[in-house]
Structure 1
Amino acid sequence: MNNSFQQLAETAQQIAETRSTNSKIAICVTYFRSLEDEDDLSLAAQFLGEGAFSSISGKRASVGSRTYSTCASDFCEIDYEKVFKPCRTALGSSSEAIEKLMQNIEEARVKRSPAELSLQQVKESYEELYRVSSREDKQKNLRDTWTQMTPVEIKYYIRIMSQGSLRIGFEIRSVVSAIAEAFDKKVEDVRYAHMITGSVGRTAVLSRNNSLDEANFKLFHPLSFMLASPIESRAVDSLEGYIAEEKFDGMRSQMHVSGQKVELYSRDLNHITYSFPEIVQFFASRGLPDIVLDGEICVFKENEILPFQLLQKRMGRKKPGKKVMEKYPVLFISYDLLYLRNNPVFDLTLRERRGHLKELSETYEFPITNQFEVNGHKHVDELFERALAHGNEGLMLKKKESTYEYGQRRKSWLKVKKPGGTLDTVLMYAHAGSGKRGGYYSDFTLGISVKEDERYEEEFIPIGKAYGGYTDEEMKRLNERIKDLTVEKYGPTLGLIPEIVVELEFDDIQVNKRTKANYTLRLPRFKAIRWDLSPRDVDTLRDVERMYQQKIERDRLKQAENPSFHFSGQ
């Protein structure tokens, strides 16, 4: 039954177990072609690429990991603290742990009678989760649905419900490629349709019906963001034709405006309007034409852009209080224009888009970035140092003649940054890789020392996960050493004796109260495997706290001389 959720789950699992990207796409192509019903095709593409709900729907199941994890523990009749949590820690994944428990515990097996639920029935289950609000009602829905599913269905039901990555090495770009190949369309045409409709499900149906030309843009659904490549990863001999902007220490956002209606979306296409009411009020009062702006939300106070960590105080708050808004005032600074007066403008060059944006900014008085002509690498170095002095992350270099390459990471936008810092950490867990790293342990959980910290009983606690920054030879050597250090194994995860020290490089330190350390590292990666060091040399949680505080308190250059943005309304 090709329209069953079981078939989708098996397809996802087959993709997860396949190494090459082309082979993964081929599996998805076969699956898409097997779906005869338009609604099933739309749901299949949506479930694989976006989650339980289309990204333009604004809906979320709003089921937290503790809600479905405790529900699974009750379903399996096991102790959440003593059995479930150790399983989850060992596997590094709640959904993976739930799949294994459902498969191996007799009490869970006898409660389930797989019913080959259709994609439509699973959609109805997600809709019910959206409609109910209490944990009790959500858990009842989960139990009722799980009784009709196999373990692999339950695993992917949870991952799809969470609206995140399915963690099968197959993101939205690959889903789009599979749609194009399945229905003999150009990838670029399918990508464009997905960009302006905001719905991968609708894009799949339009592709099969030879109706891609019917795709049209509507305000108030988020568009895929253009991405930047690290300048080190792209060979750029000449900087001729590039302009520079300072890279703000803020939150990338997209703003849609039509009359009094203003909506904000984050880079992961989530709705964040409610966290920033003063931005909404400001732009609603401007009398703007219908537009979509790409820009950055920053904490801006006393003529300084303050660090991202302070912006976190505003994020996730549905109704920030007056004191919070006064303490952490925010500003939306635009640097690109995607839509103007009923017309998408992504196909215009940056120079042309910038011309329109500048005119709008002057007419309606809202902040936009300053751009600086680039006169060689030495000049870039000078601009970079000034950006750092302002408290910004670095520079963005952008080609003046580039179009808006939504969802792409090419040479048109380059980011010039330096690491936020390094820490000496210890390997705590090793997780099996996928794709070309299949057969190796290539993803690692790293820890810091708390053995002299009275707040903790452990010697080490996790501070981040890293899966890059080492060579293939180093990975092989790591895997050989890991064999001798393994003390527990559950599925694809190994628990290790903490002996291997890694100098970890990262972009930033962020507060995260859901972790044992209360902090996480942004974009951690291996800088060096320190075979010469021992666990005694590992940095401590106190070191992390000190580094975080130093960034918060460091002096910043006022936005006075050569500012990184301008605002004609001030």
Structure 2
Amino acid sequence: MAENSFQQLAEIAQQINETRSTNAKISSCSQYFRSLDGQDLNLAAQFLGEGAFPSISGKRATVGSRTYSTCAADFCEIDYEKVFKPCKTALGSASEAIEKLMNNIEAARKKREPAQLSLREIESIYEDIHNVSSRADKQQILRNAWKQMTPIEIKFFIRIMTRGSLRIGFETKSVVAALAKAFRKELDEVRYAHMITGSIGKTAVLCKQDNLDKARFKLFHPLSFMLASPIESRALDNLDGYISEEKFDGMRAQAHVSEQQVELYSRDLNNITHSFPEIVQFFLKKDLPDVVLDGEICVYKNHEILPFQLLQKRMGRKKPDKDIMDKYPVLFITYDLIYHDERPIFEKKLEERRNLLTKLSRTHDLPITNQFEVEDRDHLDELFERALAHGNEGLMLKKINSTYEYGQRRKSWLKVKKPGGTLDTVMMYAHAGSGKRGGYYSDFTLGIRVAEDERYEEEYIPIGKAYAGYTDEEMKRLNDRIKELTVEKYGPTLGLIPEIVIELEFDDIQENKRTKANYSLRLPRFKAIRWDLSPEDADTLKDVERMYQQKIDRERLKQEKNPSFYIEQTDPETSTG
């Protein structure tokens, strides 16, 4: 195996995937990083932690699932509908299916002559993909690249290309920990350098060169967001030191503003500026100093915050037309300030950041959240019910003396939400777990009934995947039952006779035209394993459609009285122009 080859990276990724202990995963990766220098180290950290391109580059190797899947079916000389799609469904992963097909189909093996491509050659291939636009051109580049790769390289090449999770139980925070261990640095120093440079690859090189102190922040690269920990009920042991804000039914976003430039970033650090031109224009008119604002983009019309499902109609559009903008007007509501006076202000207490934000709001007419001191548990209940009446998701509780804990999910911010609903679903597939759950089937594809639905020929179709909400004892009992119900096995995935009924709790229902149901669930998790129910008791697609429409149609308390946000001098409904 050539030193610093992509094959080596793929094998390290596979080794990490097959390792249960988080510390052992970090140790394996740290040893790998120590063996690298310069651009190879930069690229290895980038591929494992960010994807084909650095997050701050704004570049994407935009290849859709159907594009690379049909290309793989053609490469393997198999029927896409009859062979590839069933394999993908059973394995729960297109890249996993492609790896197994490339390994087992003779026609695919004959076409490949692995060339031990270097990390820089892989970088060049991603650049070639980025520079073409047609499906045919992208597929030609993929075919030429795959001819030089092993199946495991192809699998991780696809996962890195699509900038999704590598699905090895090793996310960016683990890459940061591996860099700290590899080069004997303090974890917080590495985290901070990664935060302000916006590049895990640059951070890796700074670690190797002992230059972490030279990391500098520049506007217009997204910063990792501070995250909130969910709490199961509104019961808290101690409410002292918390303030309350309503949790909006919108899209978390970051606004970077400097003179005549404004850029917006989503929580997954993607640039979404093009989808919301009126927000850009709003900020441009305000003559703000250089700032980074943390807030929420909401559809706001007739003094009402409208449901997230309507915001989805604005997302992903390169340039929304006037009709869409008129029908679904948006507003950026700020709740935190994280860059001010030419530097990040993470270390300032929430109370200090809030005072600075309030001054900005008063001098520049910015919509900002209303905050309430929580008097007692009854007051908390009152605030929670008002948030729901506004159509919002619940409450955020924030410690007044907390710093901005970028990229962390701790107890300084708490989110108190009411579940969006529950559905009785049927377990269709069981997927093998990793890490601490290795040896068990712990990830599950759940379905709803369509047996009486004239639109479908099947009895059940998938509605969501869940891997949380059950105990270890329940997982063991499930695995015993799964063995009895298995009818198909494709690598780490089992196809099951639909007998096990799961009451599934979720935050919301969203339209998703890429799924068979045309809907997907937001944050689905087990509420209960309903051993007492039969599959005929499962909810139907028409139940899902009804619940979705009820959310859209529900009446909402207008923001004119007891609003969840305010602006000092301008009506927030008209402030976007």
Task: Give the TM-score band, short-chain normalised.
Answer: over 0.9
Matched residue SS, 2:544: helix
**Percent of pairs with identical residues:** 77
| 2:410 maps to amino acid | R
Query: How far, CA to CA, are the matches of 2:370 and 2:418 in structure 1?
Result: 21
Q: CA deviation at 1:354?
A: 0.5
Query: How far, CA to CA, are the matches of 1:370 and 1:207 in structure 2?
Result: 42
Q: Deviations over 1:186-229 (max 9, x none)?
A: 00010000011100010111111111111110010000000000
What is the total number of aligned residue pairs between the two structures? 569
Q: CA RMSD in A?
A: 1.0
Query: How far, CA to CA, are the matches of 1:449 and 1:262 in structure 2?
Result: 47
Q: Deviations over 1:58-90 (max 9, x none)?
A: 000000011101111111111111111111011
Query: How far, CA to CA, are the matches of 1:299 and 1:394 in structure 2?
Result: 17
| 2:16 maps to amino acid | I
Q: CA deviation at 1:379?
A: 1.6
Gaps of at least 5 residues in structure 2 are 572-577
- 1:358 aligns with 358
Query: How far, CA to CA, are the matches of 1:98 and 1:233 in structure 2?
Result: 43
Query: How far, CA to CA, are the matches of 2:480 and 2:288 in structure 1?
Result: 62
- 1:122 aligns with 122
Q: Are the structure 2 counterparts of residues 436 and 349 from structure 1 closer, same or farther at C-alpha, using a change threshold of 3 Å?
A: same
Matched, 1:239 2:239: yes
Matched, 1:8 2:9: yes
| 2:28 maps to amino acid | I
Q: CA deviation at 1:236?
A: 5.1
Matched, 1:73 2:67: no
| 1:387 maps to amino acid | A
Give the alignment's TM-score, normalised by structure 2. 0.98
Matched residue SS, 2:111: coil
- 1:544 aligns with 544
Matched residue SS, 2:332: strand
Q: Are the structure 2 counterparts of residues 319 and 521 from structure 1 closer, same or farther at C-alpha, using a change threshold of 3 Å?
A: same
| 1:131 maps to amino acid | N
- 2:464 aligns with 464
Q: CA deviation at 1:234?
A: 12
Structure 2 counterparts to residues 245-256 of structure 1, below 5 A:
245-256=245-256
Query: How far, CA to CA, are the matches of 2:410 and 2:232 in structure 1?
Result: 12
Give the alignment's TM-score, normalised by structure 1. 0.99
Q: Deviations over 1:137-169 (max 9, x none)?
A: 111111111111100000000000001110000
| 2:123 maps to amino acid | K
| 1:439 maps to amino acid | G
Q: CA deviation at 1:376?
A: 2.4
Q: Are the structure 2 counterparts of residues 170 and 343 from structure 1 closer, same or farther at C-alpha, using a change threshold of 3 Å?
A: same
Structure 2 counterparts to residues 12-51 of structure 1, below 5 A:
12-35=13-36, 37-51=37-51
Q: CA deviation at 1:237?
A: 2.3
**8 A contact 1:2–1:34 mirrored in 2:** no
Q: Are the structure 2 counterparts of residues 212 and 547 from structure 1 closer, same or farther at C-alpha, using a change threshold of 3 Å?
A: same
Query: How far, CA to CA, are the matches of 2:65 and 2:467 in structure 1?
Result: 23
Query: How far, CA to CA, are the matches of 2:14 and 2:3 in structure 1?
Result: 15
Query: How far, CA to CA, are the matches of 1:41 and 1:378 in structure 2?
Result: 55
- 1:510 aligns with 510
Q: CA deviation at 1:380?
A: 1.2
| 2:427 maps to amino acid | L
Matched residue SS, 2:252: strand
Query: How far, CA to CA, are the matches of 1:236 and 1:121 in structure 2?
Result: 54
Q: Are the structure 2 counterparts of residues 560 and 235 from structure 1 closer, same or farther at C-alpha, using a change threshold of 3 Å?
A: closer
Matched, 1:94 2:101: no
Query: How far, CA to CA, are the matches of 2:35 and 2:329 in structure 1?
Result: 53
| 1:479 maps to amino acid | N
Matched residue SS, 1:110: helix
- 2:474 aligns with 474
**8 A contact 1:448–1:538 mirrored in 2:** yes
- 1:283 aligns with 283
Query: How far, CA to CA, are the matches of 2:227 and 2:186 in structure 1?
Result: 22
- 2:496 aligns with 496
- 2:574 aligns with none
| 1:364 maps to amino acid | H
Query: How far, CA to CA, are the matches of 1:558 and 1:506 in structure 2?
Result: 26
Q: CA deviation at 1:416?
A: 0.5
Q: CA deviation at 1:375?
A: 1.4
Q: CA deviation at 1:499?
A: 0.7
Matched residue SS, 2:410: strand
Gaps of at least 5 residues in structure 1 are none
**8 A contact 1:234–1:411 mirrored in 2:** no
